[in-house]
Structure 1
C-alpha cells in the first residue's frame, strides 16, 4: 500500500478453508473506489489442518493488498473466539499505524464480498454512523443443492422479516438507520469504527452468535448502527459448517425438523407492534427527561419498582431499552412455527397497508392547510390593499 494511509483492516477468521479462501482473498484484493484509504487484510488461521496455510502463502505474492497472517492452535477455540482474535489483531494493526479514524471490517473465509464492499462501508461511516451491518445471500451453487422445502421456508421467513422491519421503521423511525433497512447481523459483513470497537469491549468470544451479541452491545451503548440494504455479501450455503451451532447447523436442523421454531424476532404481529410502539414511547420519555421519573411505564410491563429504578439509572438509553425488554414478561420473545407464518404475513400486510394509508392521508391533509393559510394571507392582503 505505497503512499496510502492505512484506514481500514478486514479481519477474517479462518478454519480449514483451503477450498474457499482464494475466492475470499481475491474478492478482498479487488476492492475499488478507496481513494487514498489504505486497506489491510488480517487472516487469523486457527487450528487449520487442511493446507489452508499453504494456499494462503502461495497467493500472497500475487495480491495487491497488504496481508498479515496469524496462525494459532488452541484446543478451546470456537467461532466467537476466533473472530475476536482476528478483530483484536486488526485493531492492533490500525493502532500501530496511528490511524485516528480507523475502521475494522470483518467477513468470513467462505464468503465473497463485492468490489465496492469496503468503499460502501467506509462511506456509511463517513456519513456519521459508528457501525454498519450488511445483508447476506447464499452462494447460488450451494443453494441449488439445498432442498426445496428449505427454500420455501426461507422465503416465508424473509417475507415476514421484511414486513416487520418496515413496520418498525414506520412506527419507530431512527434517523441514522432510515428505511429501507434490514435486520441482518452477520459476521460475514460488519464494519465498526476502531474507537467504538474499543468502547464496547470488542467482539465477545461466544461459541455461537458472537456477531448478534456484538451488535447488541453496540446498540446498548447507543452506538449508531446502520443496517445498509445496499451492502450484500455472498456466503456459503453448505450444511457441513465449520462452527458448531452456526448457520450451517441451523439449516441442517431445519432440513431434519421442518417445524423447528423460527428466529425469535419473528414474533406475532400484535406483540411486534406493541414492542415497536413501546420503543418509540420510551425514546420520547428519555428525550424529555421523564423516563426515570417514578417509572410510570414499569407496572404496565410487569416490572417491579426496584428493577425499574435500576433500569432508569443505566448509563445509556440503549442499555435501558435492552434491560426493559429483558425484564418484562410481556416482552419475552415467543418464536413462531413455520406453519404460523402465512397467517402472520397477512396480518402484517394489513397493518402495513393501514400505516401507509395513514401516512399518505396525513401528507395530503397537511398540504391543503399550507395552501389555505397562503390563500387567507393573500386575501387579507388584497382586502387591505383595496381598503
Structure 2
C-alpha cells in the first residue's frame, strides 16, 4: 500500500501516479494507493479523478481541509488510511510505502522494497535523485556544495559501516532518510505509533523511533526515486526550502550528521562499544561507559533500565555532551574529506589483512574536567 500526501500538485500528480501504475514484479491486485489531498486549492482533485479510471491499481482519495496542516500531519493521514486499508483486508503482514506527489518512482521501486523486507528487515529507506531537467536549472554553486556534501557523507557512511557493522544494514548502504522513499511493515508502523505529525523532519523522526524500538532498518542503495528540484516547495522547511536557503546563504551549515571526522570516529566507536556491552549483558555496569561520556550516575542507571538496546543507545547519545552534534560549514568540507579518505584507506587495508579495525584512542570532543580517556572499543 502506497501512501502519498498531496497539496496543490496538479502539474505533477499525473507523473507520480503513472510511475506507480507501471510497477513491475508484483502480482495483480498487489498494490493500492492512498492520496491525502490536504488543503488543495488548484485542480489536483480534478486531475486525480480524471486519471483514476485508467490506472491499473485501486486509488483511494482522502480529502482534508485543516488550517494547521503540515507535511508530517498530511503524511500521517495518508499512512493511517493505508494502514486501515491493510487491516480491512486482514493483512497483518502488510507493508506501507510512502513517497511524495512531486516524485517519480522507478518501475522496480515496490518490488525492491518488498524484497528487502522479505529478507528480514522491518523498514527500508531509499535514496533520492533530483529530476535532471530541474536540477540543470539550479545554480552551479549549489551543485558544487552538493557534491562536497555527498562525497563526505559517502565516506562517513562507509567508515561507520566498517567500525560499527550492522548485519541487517550492511555496506554498501546510505544515510538518506526521506519521506520520498520509505517502506515499513504494518506491525512496525503500529508499534511506534505511526508517522509523527511534525511540521519539519517527520520522516527522520519516524525512522529514529523505529531504531529506538529496535526495528531493523535497511538503507538500501538499490532503492531510488526521482524527486523535484524546485525551489518553491509545498512543505515549509522541506527540501525545497533547504536548497533555497543554501542558494541565498551559501555558508549555511551542513546537515548535522556531517560532523568533523574526529567526532564521527568517536561516535561510531562508542556505538560499537555500547552495542557490545549490551549484547554481553554488561550495559548495567555503567562505570564502563557513563564517566567516559560525561553522563551522571543517576541518569546512567535510568538509561540502563530502558527496555532495549535501541532505546538505550538513543538515550546515551541524547544525554552525552561528548556525543552532541556540531555541524560543519561548507568551507570545512575539503579538509574533512581528505582526512576521511585517509582514515577509510586505513580501515580498508586492515580489512584486507583480516585485522579487526581498532579505532585510535580518542579523547571526548567535549570533556568534563579531569575526565579520563575512553577505553578502546575493542576491549568490550
* Aligned counterpart, 2:246: 254
CA contact (8 A) 1:295 1:309 kept: no
CA contact (8 A) 1:45 1:53 kept: yes
- Summarize the alignment of residues 269-288 of structure 1 with structure 2, pairs less than 5 Å apart: 269-288=261-280
The CA deviation at 1:323 is 0.8
3-state SS of paired residue (1:263): coil
Aligned partners of 1:130, 1:303: CA distance in 2, in Å?
31
CA contact (8 A) 1:137 1:232 kept: yes
CA contact (8 A) 2:286 2:304 kept: no
Cα RMSD after superposing both structures: 1.1
TM-score (norm: length of structure 2): 0.93
List per-residue Cα deviations over 1:351-370 (Å, max 9, x = no partner): 00001111112279xxxxxx
* Aligned counterpart, 1:382: none
Kindly indicate whether residue 299 of structure 2 is the aligned counterpart of residue 300 of structure 1: no
Aligned partners of 1:39, 1:324: CA distance in 2, in Å?
40
- Summarize the alignment of residues 174-189 of structure 1 with structure 2, pairs less than 5 Å apart: 174-189=166-181
Query: Runs of at least 4 residues of structure 1 off by over 6 A?
Result: none
Kindly indicate whether residue 86 of structure 2 is the aligned counterpart of residue 94 of structure 1: yes
The CA deviation at 1:37 is 6.2
3-state SS of paired residue (1:71): strand
CA contact (8 A) 2:96 2:183 kept: yes
* Aligned counterpart, 2:227: 235
Size of the alignment, in residue pairs? 356
* Aligned counterpart, 2:102: 110
TM-score (norm: length of structure 1): 0.91
Q: In terms of Rg, which structure is larger?
A: 1
> Which of 181, 187, 197 is equivalent to 1:195?
187
Give unmatched runs, 5+ long, in structure 2. 357-380
> Which of 253, 260, 263 is equivalent to 1:268?
260
CA contact (8 A) 1:46 1:73 kept: yes
> Which of 5, 18, 42 is equivalent to 1:13?
5
Aligned partners of 1:215, 1:40: CA distance in 2, in Å?
23
Aligned partners of 1:360, 1:208: CA distance in 2, in Å?
42
* Aligned counterpart, 1:374: none
* Aligned counterpart, 1:119: 111
* Aligned counterpart, 2:374: none
The CA deviation at 1:100 is 2.4
Give the structure with the higher percent helix: 1
* Distance verdict in 2 for CA 1:65–1:274, change over 3 Å: same
Kindly indicate whether residue 333 of structure 2 is the aligned counterpart of residue 341 of structure 1: yes
CA contact (8 A) 1:295 1:312 kept: no
